[in-house]
């Protein structure tokens, strides 16, 4: 059976590995931006996860000419009013260059906050967009699926674990007794916010069956 082609709009190798695992048993052949030689970066000017997911999915679908999955996701810490939120990957601005810098800033901003108030969640919004086409003129991109996934936890006092990225080393899951970074990728892909959203997206794609097939 031929696979269906789907571009994953990310240059983050950790995120690409997660999607490879999440779509492992599906009928999709995943391509990355690197696979297609796309170096263009979409300006994430949206004020919400949903807006940024649409910006990335629609622009890369138009560039690549194939259906494209883009997500925007981040960490929401209740006591910080939902920060870093949509700015999770840019938390701290130019003063923070790495994930470790951003984690350190988060922990500094939570100094003195007791355990019971360190509640947080990871949220992921996935948009899957078809490129539209042309028929006497360009047709707009087509939204094929829009879903939201989340996972709740706590922000612990110091990083633990080496198997995740981003804020995974400080995001503690009470149900597992570990941070996300202490989980194997297979375990993470059973419970993460991205796993939740990807499962919902796959169910929607099974209904709309939108994407072209790769050569056998």
Q: Is residue 70 part of a domain?
A: yes
Residue 42 tokens, joined: 């979409």
Active site residues: 72
What percent of the residues of the chain are helix, what percent strand, and what percent coil, each to the nearest 5?
A: 40, 25, 35
Mean pLDDT value across residues 156-170:
93
How many domains is the chain partitioned into structurally? 1
Three-state DSSP state, 8: strand
Which strand ranges, in their side-by-side order, compose the sheet holding 68-77?
Answer: 28-32, 4-8, 68-77, 119-130, 142-155, 171-173, 178-179
Residues of 9-35 as b/e, b for ≥16 C-beta within 10 angstroms? Answer: bbeeeebbebbebbbeeebbebbbbee
Q: pLDDT digits over 30-67, tens only?
A: 999 999 999 999 999 999 999 999 999 999 999 999 99
Q: Is residue 30 part of a domain?
A: yes
DSSP 147-206: EEEEEEEEE-SS---SS--TTGGGEEETTTTEEGGGS-HHHHHHHSHHHHHHHHHHHHHH
Q: pLDDT digits over 86-118, tens only?
A: 999 999 999 999 999 999 999 999 999 999 999
Range of the domain at 176: 4-208
Query: CA 73, CA 87: separation in Å to the nearest integer?
Result: 9
Q: Number of H helices and number of E strands within the chain?
A: 5, 7
The whole-model pTM stands at 0.84
Beta bridge partners of 126: 71, 147
Q: Is residue 95 part of a domain?
A: yes
Residue 22 tokens, joined: 């999440």
Q: Is residue 34 part of a domain?
A: yes
**Residue 14 pLDDT grade (very low, low, confident, very high; cuts 50, 70, 90):** confident
Query: CA 67, CA 212: separation in Å to the nearest integer?
Result: 8
Is residue 214 a contact partner of residue 5, using CB atoms and an 8 Å limit? Answer: yes
Q: Is residue 215 part of a domain?
A: no
CATH number reported for the structural domain that contains residue 40 in this entry: 3.90.950.10
Q: pLDDT digits over 128-140, tens only?
A: 999 875 444 467 8
Q: Give the pLDDT confidence score for residue 155 in this predicted structure.
A: 98
DSSP E strands, the chain? 4-8, 28-32, 68-77, 119-130, 142-155, 171-173, 178-179
Q: Is residue 166 part of a domain?
A: yes
Q: Is residue 213 part of a domain?
A: no
Is residue 35 a contact partner of residue 43, using CB atoms and an 8 Å limit? Answer: no
Q: Is residue 214 part of a domain?
A: no
Cα torsion angle, 128, 75, 172, 148, sign: negative
């Amino acid at each position: 059976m031929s696979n269906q082609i789907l571009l994953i709009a990310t240059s983050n190798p950790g995120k690409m590995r997660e999607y490879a695992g999440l779509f492992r048993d599906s009928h999709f052949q995943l391509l990355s931006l690197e696979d297609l030689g796309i170096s263009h970066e979409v300006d994430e000017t949206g004020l919400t996860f949903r807006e940024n997911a649409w910006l990335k999915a629609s622009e890369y679908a138009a560039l690549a000419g194939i259906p494209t999955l883009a997500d925007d996701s981040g960490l929401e810490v209740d006591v910080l009013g939902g920060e870093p939120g949509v700015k999770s990957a840019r938390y701290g601005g130019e003063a923070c260059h790495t994930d470790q810098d951003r984690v350190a800033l988060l922990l500094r901003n939570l100094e003195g906050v007791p355990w019971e108030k360190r509640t947080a969640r990871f949220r992921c919004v996935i948009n899957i967009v078809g490129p539209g086409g042309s028929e006497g003129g360009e047709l707009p991109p087509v939204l094929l699926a829009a879903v939201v996934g989340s996972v709740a936890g706590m922000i612990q006092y110091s990083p633990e674990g080496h198997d995740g990225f981003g804020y995974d080393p400080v995001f503690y899951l009470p149900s597992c007794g570990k941070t996300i970074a202490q989980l194997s990728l297979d375990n993470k892909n059973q419970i993460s916010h991205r796993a939740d959203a990807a499962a919902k997206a796959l169910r929607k794609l099974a209904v709309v069956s939108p994407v072209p097939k790769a050569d056998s």
